[in-house]
Structure formats: C-alpha cells, structure tokens
Amino acid sequence: MALKPDVAEGLQYLRQQVPDDMEDLHQLLQYFDETYVTGNLRRVTSARSSARLILCARRIAPLFPPAVWKVYDATLTGRERTNNVCEGWNNAFATMVGHHHPSLCCLIGALQQDQAMVATALLQNARGQPPAKRCKRSVVQQQQRLHKLFCERSDGTRSVKDTLRALGHL
C-alpha cells in the first residue's frame, strides 16, 4: 500500500487543526512539508518576453522523502521501526562505560567486555539458545496498540483523520 496519499492527507488534516493565530505551528508544518513530504519550489529561469517577466519554477524533491522515514510497513510486519540499527548498541555501550569521556584504559576495558558478551551470545545462538529480547511491558503494549491502529488503517476501517487522533492519544 503506497502511503504517499495518506501522508499528504494527514498533513492537510493537521493544517486544518492548527488555529490561525499559531503562526509558529504553521511554519513548523510548512517546514515539515518541504523537508519530508512534497519538497519546495525553486526558481529555474527568468526570462523577459516583450513587456512581461516570466518566472519558471520546478518542484524540488524533499530532502527526506516519506520512503526514507515512514515506518508504517515496519509496524505492520512487526519489524524494528528505528532507522539506526546501531542505536541499541550505542545506548548499551554508553551505559557500560558509565560516563561521557572515559579514559583510554576504561574504553578498552568496556570494548573487551562488549566483545565477551557478543562472543557469549554467538555461542548461545549456535547452540540453539538465542538470548531472549528484553522489553518493557509498557513498550510491548504500545507496540500492540500501534500495530492494531495501523492494521485498521490498512484494511480501511479507520480513516487518516481517526488514525491521527488515535496516535495523538497514544
């Protein structure tokens, strides 16, 4: 299911919900639209013909189109929704090190500890005992609610407007 029409429809709905006196919020939505959804217009050429000025413009693709950042399909299929596969490792390593600017000796010790943990996990996996993925109950419940919302959107029982409202309450 191509989600581009849903993204444009959702953005239009959000624009309608913003009060007219909230100029900063309108600017934020405009920025989001130009950077992540439709892109913006750029002047290509300007020419004069007899007594009038002709400006030509073309739409420049967004810097980060929806195909890069949307996680709709990943949520429906139960895959990870983060686009940075190293995020979990970075967080675990930062916790293992314990402070922001470790000494060289402390850093080497943490790297050795990480290597030992990975070696143990590989051995367990080779024996058919993959380590259980720990997840907070609240996170699992939130994942289930998101999956249900997206399934309802996918099969057409929930509109874009209703989905956005539900996400706002989630």
In the chain, the number of structural domains is 1
In terms of Cβ atoms closer than 10 Å to its own Cβ (0-12, 13-18, 19+), residue 74 is middle
pLDDT per residue as tens digits for the range 86-116: 787 888 888 889 888 889 999 999 999 999 9
Q: What is the pTM of this model?
A: 0.62
Q: Is the pLDDT of residue 79 over 50?
A: yes
Residue 136 included in any domain = no
Residue 126 included in any domain = no
Residue 12 included in any domain = yes
pLDDT per residue as tens digits for the range 136-168: 899 889 989 999 999 999 898 999 999 999 998
Residue 107 included in any domain = no
Owning domain of residue 51: 1-70
Residue 167 included in any domain = no
Residue 99 included in any domain = no
Q: Which long-range contacts (CB under 8 A, 24 or more apart) does 152-161 make?
A: 153/6, 154/1, 154/76, 160/6, 160/9, 160/10, 160/13, 161/13
